[in-house]
Each structure stands twice: as C-alpha cells, then as structure tokens.
C-alpha cells in the first residue's frame, strides 16, 4: 500500500478557513479538509486515512483526499525514491538534547516545557540536519557516505520512517523542492 503524507505547515485559521503554507504559497482549507490534513500526519495509507476520517465524523472524505492530493497539500509516496527526490524536511521547534535516562533518545520541543517528541539518534539527526540537504534523497546520499555504509536506497526506509515519526509529532514539515 502507498503511504500518504501531509505537505506544508499549518499557519493558523483565517476567517472560516485554515491556512497551510506550502513553499511560498498558502492553501486555504475548509474545516473538513483541515481535519483530513491533520489526520494525515499519522503514517498511513489512503484507505487507513479515509477510515480514520470517517471515525472522526468528517463528511465527503474521499472527495477531500482527492482535492488535497490535487492541490499538493497531501502527497503519496507511490515510488519512494521519486518521493524523496521531490520533498525535503524542515524542522520545527528546538532540539532539547538527549534524555538523561536514555542517552540514545533525543527530545524536541520548547525549552522549559515537556518535549513534544522523543526520538532515536537517527531520527534526531534527520530532524537536525535533514533541512541542509536539498531533498530527502540527497540526505540519503549523504547518509550512504558517512556512518552506515551502503547505497542511498538502503537508507531510504530509515529516512522515511523518521519523516513519518517527525510529522506525526508535528515537529517537522514536508516541503516540495522549489
């Protein structure tokens, strides 16, 4: 099954719409469309997303999913390599360092508050440095030359797992390559 990912950064409500910034543009979503976009932050397939939306009492889910896909606010990773070549990850919030009780886990959030996410070293490195690479694929190429030897394709599953985790915790956003 193909994974669906949300694209863009929620910029807040405006009148009766929700603004999602995608690159240098703003998409204005209805309440129902926004609900679909929020639920897409869980690593999911389209059928799973539709089921979650129906459970949340969102009407016309299939129509909203199709509309959001066509507007670029949702995307599908039909071909993982192509997906990684078309998108990059932008971090949100602040790195809070590793956990004193688990040195292999790192916190992300707002200083002085409980962490929003606690992630593995690999996912933290993606969050911290992934934005420097021009795409997720370029990040995979870098990973293939340092640390774990291998090909960029061998790194892709780990990177996509990290992307899904960071998006599900709302501590990063996907942006299309411009």
Q: How many Å from the N-terminal Cα to the C-terminal Cα in the chain?
A: 27
Q: What does the pLDDT read at residue 113?
A: 96
Under the banding of pLDDT at 50, 70 and 90, the label for residue 150 is confident
The predicted-structure confidence for 34-66, as pLDDT tens digits, reads as follows 999 999 998 789 999 999 999 999 999 999 999
Burial of 126 (0-12, 13-18, 19+ CB in 10 A): buried
Task: Give the C-alpha separation, 168 to 83, whole Å.
Answer: 18
Q: What does the pLDDT read at residue 1?
A: 63
Q: What does the pLDDT read at residue 147?
A: 66
What would the two tokens of residue 5 be? Answer: 């990912």
**Sign of torsion over alpha carbons 47, 61, 5, 39:** negative
Residue 25 is classified by DSSP as E
Under the banding of pLDDT at 50, 70 and 90, the label for residue 2 is confident
The predicted-structure confidence for 80-118, as pLDDT tens digits, reads as follows 999 999 999 999 999 999 878 889 999 999 999 999 999
- Higher-confidence residue of 13 and 171: namely 171
Strands 117-120 and 172-176: unpaired
What residue ranges do the domains of the chain occupy?
Answer: 3-76, 82-176
Is 70 exceeded by the pLDDT of residue 148?
A: no
- Average pLDDT of the residues in 12-39: 93
């Amino acid at each position: 099954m193909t994974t669906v990912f949300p694209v863009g950064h929620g910029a807040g409500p405006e009148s009766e719409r929700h603004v999602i910034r995608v690159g240098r543009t703003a998409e204005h979503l209805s309440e129902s469309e926004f609900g679909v976009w929020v639920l897409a932050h869980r690593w999911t397939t389209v059928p799973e997303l539709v089921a979650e939306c129906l459970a949340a009492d969102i009407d016309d889910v299939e129509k909203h999913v199709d509309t959001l896909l066509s507007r670029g606010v949702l995307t599908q990773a039909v071909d993982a390599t192509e997906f990684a070549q078309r998108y990059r990850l932008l971090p949100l919030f602040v790195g809070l360092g590793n956990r004193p009780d688990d040195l292999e886990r790192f916190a992300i959030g707002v200083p002085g508050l409980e962490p929003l996410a606690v992630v593995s070293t690999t996912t933290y490195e993606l969050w911290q440095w992934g934005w420097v690479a021009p795409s997720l694929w370029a990040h995979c190429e870098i990973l293939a030359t340092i640390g774990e030897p291998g090909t960029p394709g061998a790194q892709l599953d780990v990177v996509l797992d990290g992307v899904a985790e960071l998006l599900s915790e709302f501590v990063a956003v996907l942006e299309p390559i411009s």
